[in-house]
Protein backbone atom coordinates (compact mmCIF):
# COMPACT_ATOMS: atom_id res chain seq x y z
CA UNK A 1 0.00 0.00 0.00
CA UNK A 2 3.09 2.27 0.10
CA UNK A 3 2.52 3.29 -3.55
CA UNK A 4 -1.00 4.59 -2.89
CA UNK A 5 -1.75 8.23 -2.38
CA UNK A 6 -2.99 9.40 0.96
CA UNK A 7 -6.48 9.85 -0.53
CA UNK A 8 -6.61 6.23 -1.76
CA UNK A 9 -5.41 4.94 1.59
CA UNK A 10 -8.13 6.91 3.32
CA UNK A 11 -10.83 5.44 1.03
CA UNK A 12 -9.61 1.88 1.62
CA UNK A 13 -9.62 2.38 5.38
CA UNK A 14 -13.16 3.75 5.32
CA UNK A 15 -14.37 0.83 3.18
CA UNK A 16 -12.79 -1.78 5.46
CA UNK A 17 -14.29 -0.13 8.50
CA UNK A 18 -17.74 -0.21 6.94
CA UNK A 19 -17.43 -3.97 6.28
CA UNK A 20 -16.45 -4.59 9.91
CA UNK A 21 -19.38 -2.52 11.18
CA UNK A 22 -21.84 -4.43 8.98
CA UNK A 23 -20.44 -7.78 10.09
CA UNK A 24 -20.72 -6.85 13.74
CA UNK A 25 -24.28 -5.60 13.25
CA UNK A 26 -25.26 -8.87 11.58
CA UNK A 27 -23.80 -10.93 14.42
CA UNK A 28 -25.64 -8.87 17.03
CA UNK A 29 -29.01 -9.09 15.26
CA UNK A 30 -31.23 -12.07 16.35
CA UNK A 31 -32.13 -12.90 12.76
CA UNK A 32 -29.08 -12.43 10.61
CA UNK A 33 -28.66 -12.83 6.89
CA UNK A 34 -28.34 -16.63 7.12
CA UNK A 35 -31.55 -16.79 9.10
CA UNK A 36 -33.32 -14.66 6.54
CA UNK A 37 -32.27 -17.01 3.74
CA UNK A 38 -32.84 -20.32 5.57
CA UNK A 39 -35.14 -19.86 8.59
CA UNK A 40 -35.12 -22.82 11.01
CA UNK A 41 -38.56 -24.49 11.31
CA UNK A 42 -40.34 -24.01 14.59
CA UNK A 43 -41.16 -26.98 16.83
CA UNK A 44 -44.80 -26.62 15.86
CA UNK A 45 -44.09 -26.81 12.14
CA UNK A 46 -41.91 -29.91 12.64
CA UNK A 47 -44.69 -31.61 14.57
CA UNK A 48 -47.19 -30.67 11.90
CA UNK A 49 -45.00 -32.15 9.18
CA UNK A 50 -44.41 -35.42 11.03
CA UNK A 51 -47.82 -35.85 12.65
CA UNK A 52 -50.44 -33.63 11.04
CA UNK A 53 -53.28 -32.76 13.35
CA UNK A 54 -56.46 -34.73 12.68
CA UNK A 55 -59.27 -32.92 10.95
CA UNK A 56 -62.45 -32.12 12.83
CA UNK A 57 -64.16 -34.89 10.88
CA UNK A 58 -61.64 -37.52 11.96
CA UNK A 59 -61.87 -36.38 15.58
CA UNK A 60 -65.63 -36.71 15.41
CA UNK A 61 -65.28 -40.18 13.91
CA UNK A 62 -63.01 -41.23 16.76
CA UNK A 63 -65.38 -39.93 19.41
CA UNK A 64 -68.58 -41.10 17.76
CA UNK A 65 -68.10 -44.51 16.12
CA UNK A 66 -70.46 -45.60 13.41
CA UNK A 67 -73.66 -47.10 14.79
CA UNK A 68 -73.93 -50.86 15.07
CA UNK A 69 -75.71 -52.89 12.42
CA UNK A 70 -77.92 -54.41 15.10
CA UNK A 71 -80.27 -52.86 17.62
CA UNK A 72 -82.12 -53.75 20.80
CA UNK A 73 -84.66 -55.49 18.58
CA UNK A 74 -81.89 -58.01 17.81
CA UNK A 75 -81.33 -58.68 21.49
CA UNK A 76 -78.40 -56.30 21.95
CA UNK A 77 -78.13 -54.89 25.46
CA UNK A 78 -76.82 -51.31 25.19
CA UNK A 79 -73.73 -50.36 27.18
CA UNK A 80 -74.62 -49.06 30.61
CA UNK A 81 -78.07 -50.69 30.63
CA UNK A 82 -78.90 -53.14 33.42
CA UNK A 83 -81.64 -55.63 32.58
CA UNK A 84 -83.68 -57.38 35.21
CA UNK A 85 -84.86 -60.94 34.56
CA UNK A 86 -88.33 -59.51 35.21
CA UNK A 87 -88.09 -56.99 32.35
CA UNK A 88 -90.94 -57.56 29.93
CA UNK A 89 -89.96 -54.97 27.34
CA UNK A 90 -86.42 -55.89 26.25
CA UNK A 91 -86.35 -58.52 23.47
CA UNK A 92 -83.19 -60.02 25.01
CA UNK A 93 -85.35 -61.09 27.97
CA UNK A 94 -88.82 -61.33 26.46
CA UNK A 95 -87.74 -63.72 23.68
CA UNK A 96 -86.08 -66.26 25.97
CA UNK A 97 -87.58 -69.73 26.11
CA UNK A 98 -90.46 -69.51 28.65
CA UNK A 99 -89.17 -72.41 30.77
CA UNK A 100 -85.68 -70.89 30.94
CA UNK A 101 -87.02 -67.46 31.80
CA UNK A 102 -89.24 -68.86 34.54
CA UNK A 103 -86.28 -70.70 36.09
CA UNK A 104 -84.07 -67.60 35.97
CA UNK A 105 -86.76 -65.47 37.57
CA UNK A 106 -87.27 -68.01 40.36
CA UNK A 107 -83.52 -68.12 41.01
CA UNK A 108 -83.26 -64.31 40.88
CA UNK A 109 -86.02 -63.96 43.46
CA UNK A 110 -84.28 -66.33 45.87
CA UNK A 111 -80.90 -64.68 45.27
CA UNK A 112 -82.39 -61.27 46.01
CA UNK A 113 -83.71 -62.56 49.33
CA UNK A 114 -80.07 -63.28 50.18
CA UNK A 115 -78.93 -59.81 49.14
CA UNK A 116 -77.70 -60.73 45.65
CA UNK A 117 -79.08 -58.91 42.61
CA UNK A 118 -79.08 -60.90 39.37
CA UNK A 119 -78.96 -59.17 35.97
CA UNK A 120 -79.31 -60.37 32.41
CA UNK A 121 -76.21 -59.27 30.50
CA UNK A 122 -77.21 -61.11 27.32
CA UNK A 123 -80.13 -63.33 26.46
CA UNK A 124 -81.94 -64.03 23.21
CA UNK A 125 -80.07 -62.85 20.10
CA UNK A 126 -81.05 -62.62 16.46
CA UNK A 127 -78.97 -64.48 13.89
CA UNK A 128 -77.63 -61.15 12.64
CA UNK A 129 -76.46 -60.15 16.13
CA UNK A 130 -74.88 -63.55 16.74
CA UNK A 131 -73.02 -63.31 13.45
CA UNK A 132 -71.77 -59.85 14.33
CA UNK A 133 -70.44 -61.13 17.65
CA UNK A 134 -68.73 -64.02 15.87
CA UNK A 135 -67.15 -61.71 13.28
CA UNK A 136 -65.84 -59.48 16.06
CA UNK A 137 -64.41 -62.50 17.90
CA UNK A 138 -62.64 -63.65 14.73
CA UNK A 139 -61.01 -60.21 14.53
CA UNK A 140 -60.04 -60.36 18.19
CA UNK A 141 -58.67 -63.92 18.31
CA UNK A 142 -57.34 -64.16 14.76
CA UNK A 143 -59.22 -67.16 13.44
CA UNK A 144 -62.66 -68.76 13.36
CA UNK A 145 -61.31 -71.76 15.25
CA UNK A 146 -60.19 -69.63 18.19
CA UNK A 147 -63.26 -67.39 18.06
CA UNK A 148 -65.52 -70.44 18.32
CA UNK A 149 -64.19 -71.10 21.81
CA UNK A 150 -66.13 -68.04 22.97
CA UNK A 151 -68.85 -67.36 20.40
CA UNK A 152 -70.91 -69.96 18.59
CA UNK A 153 -72.20 -69.73 15.04
CA UNK A 154 -75.79 -68.51 14.55
CA UNK A 155 -76.79 -72.03 13.55
CA UNK A 156 -75.45 -73.59 16.78
CA UNK A 157 -75.94 -70.80 19.30
CA UNK A 158 -78.33 -71.53 22.15
CA UNK A 159 -78.77 -67.76 22.49
CA UNK A 160 -80.37 -67.58 19.04
CA UNK A 161 -82.75 -70.37 20.06
CA UNK A 162 -83.58 -68.45 23.25
CA UNK A 163 -82.28 -71.32 25.38
CA UNK A 164 -79.23 -69.63 26.94
CA UNK A 165 -78.78 -66.60 29.14
CA UNK A 166 -75.72 -64.72 30.36
CA UNK A 167 -76.06 -63.42 33.89
CA UNK A 168 -74.14 -61.11 36.18
CA UNK A 169 -72.57 -59.69 38.23
CA UNK A 170 -69.89 -62.13 39.32
CA UNK A 171 -71.33 -62.78 42.78
CA UNK A 172 -74.65 -63.73 41.16
CA UNK A 173 -72.83 -66.10 38.81
CA UNK A 174 -71.09 -67.89 41.65
CA UNK A 175 -74.34 -68.06 43.61
CA UNK A 176 -76.08 -69.68 40.65
CA UNK A 177 -73.21 -72.10 40.02
CA UNK A 178 -73.71 -73.28 43.60
CA UNK A 179 -77.53 -73.29 43.68
CA UNK A 180 -78.59 -73.38 40.03
CA UNK A 181 -79.36 -77.12 39.86
CA UNK A 182 -82.28 -76.48 42.23
CA UNK A 183 -83.91 -74.62 39.33
CA UNK A 184 -82.53 -76.80 36.55
CA UNK A 185 -79.98 -74.11 35.64
CA UNK A 186 -76.43 -75.17 34.89
CA UNK A 187 -73.18 -73.50 33.95
CA UNK A 188 -72.32 -75.01 30.56
CA UNK A 189 -68.78 -73.92 29.64
CA UNK A 190 -65.71 -74.01 31.83
CA UNK A 191 -64.47 -70.69 30.43
CA UNK A 192 -67.79 -68.83 30.92
CA UNK A 193 -69.07 -68.59 34.48
CA UNK A 194 -71.95 -66.36 33.30
CA UNK A 195 -73.54 -68.66 30.69
CA UNK A 196 -76.47 -70.77 31.92
CA UNK A 197 -78.93 -73.15 30.29
CA UNK A 198 -81.60 -75.58 31.47
CA UNK A 199 -79.52 -78.76 31.52
CA UNK A 200 -81.23 -80.79 34.23
CA UNK A 201 -84.58 -81.17 35.93
CA UNK A 202 -85.11 -78.97 38.99
CA UNK A 203 -83.22 -80.54 41.87
CA UNK A 204 -81.23 -82.78 39.54
CA UNK A 205 -77.51 -82.91 38.80
CA UNK A 206 -75.84 -80.71 36.22
CA UNK A 207 -73.76 -82.48 33.55
CA UNK A 208 -69.99 -82.09 33.39
CA UNK A 209 -68.76 -78.79 32.02
CA UNK A 210 -67.72 -78.47 28.41
CA UNK A 211 -64.32 -76.76 28.05
CA UNK A 212 -65.71 -73.97 25.85
CA UNK A 213 -68.33 -73.15 23.21
CA UNK A 214 -66.45 -75.16 20.60
CA UNK A 215 -67.11 -78.29 22.66
Comma-separated ranges of CATH 3.30.1380.10 domains in the chain? 72-198
Q: Is domain 72-198 given the CATH code 3.40.800.10 in the classification? A: no
Local confidence pLDDT in tens for the 215 residues of the chain: 445 444 444 344 444 444 333 333 344 444 443 333 344 333 332 233 333 333 333 223 333 333 458 999 999 999 999 999 999 899 999 999 999 999 999 999 999 999 999 999 999 999 999 999 999 999 999 999 999 999 999 999 999 999 999 999 999 999 999 999 999 999 999 999 999 999 999 999 999 999 999 98
pLDDT recorded at residue 67:
43
- pLDDT tens digit sequence for 60-85: 333 333 345 899 999 999 999 999 99
Long-range contacts of 51-60 (CB under 8 A, 24+ apart): none
What DSSP state is assigned to residue 65? P
pLDDT recorded at residue 170:
98
| φ, ψ (nearest 5 deg) of residue 195 | -95, 120
Q: How far apart are CA 121 and CA 140, in angstroms?
A: 20
pLDDT recorded at residue 36:
37
Is the distance from CB of 177 to CB of 206 less than 8 angstroms? no
H helix or E strand, kind and range, residue 120: strand 119-122
pLDDT recorded at residue 69:
81
Amino acid sequence: MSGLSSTAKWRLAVGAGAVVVLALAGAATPTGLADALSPAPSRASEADALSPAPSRASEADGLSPAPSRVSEADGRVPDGVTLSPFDTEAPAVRNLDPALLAAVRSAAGDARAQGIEMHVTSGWRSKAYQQQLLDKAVGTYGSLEQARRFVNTPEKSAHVAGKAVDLGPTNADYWLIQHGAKYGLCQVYGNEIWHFELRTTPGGTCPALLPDAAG
